[in-house]
Amino acid sequence: MTSALDRIIDLLSPDTSRLLAATMDGELAGWLNVRRDPFKLISHWGTVHHVQTRTAIRGRGVGRAFMKEVRRAAKEEMSVEQLHVAVRSDAGLEDFYGRLGWKEGRRWPGALRLAAGDDRDEILMILAPL
């Protein structure tokens, strides 16, 4: 069976996607994927996927550095004008992204089920202009 990372790598294309990785002290600290759809009507925006940082290093600036770099790469390398990311509520993520200039665009109440009786909102955050 192919891993999730292998599937993402297979979809990489210089025109439409980037896989960003961060290291700290010689170890993988986190990674994310940003994609731009080639369909003309929406090719001016990109979507950030799979934002992951190691739990042990959170609070040390890796997430902030990721968001700075994804913004730069999307604008300068991919000609993207705005970015979207979907986050789950009650994890402090809307505050994190908000401090970096992202705005809440839409919320789907109860869209994510983490466990029985633990439904969370999915929040679409938007960063525009880059």
Question: pLDDT tens-digit profile of 31-86?
Answer: 899 999 889 999 999 999 989 999 988 889 999 998 999 999 999 999 999 999 99
pLDDT tier, 12 (very low <50, low <70, confident <90, very high otherwise): confident
Q: Where are the alpha helices (DSSP H) in the chain?
A: 4-10, 62-78, 93-99
For 14, 33, 75, the CA distances from 130, given in Å and listed in that order, are: 19, 17, 6
Question: pLDDT tens-digit profile of 90-123?
Answer: 999 999 999 999 999 999 999 999 999 999 999 9
Of the candidates 21, 29, 26, 16, the residue with the CA atom closest to the CA atom of residue 5? 21
Helices (H) and strands (E) in the chain, counts: 3, 6
pLDDT tier, 1 (very low <50, low <70, confident <90, very high otherwise): very low
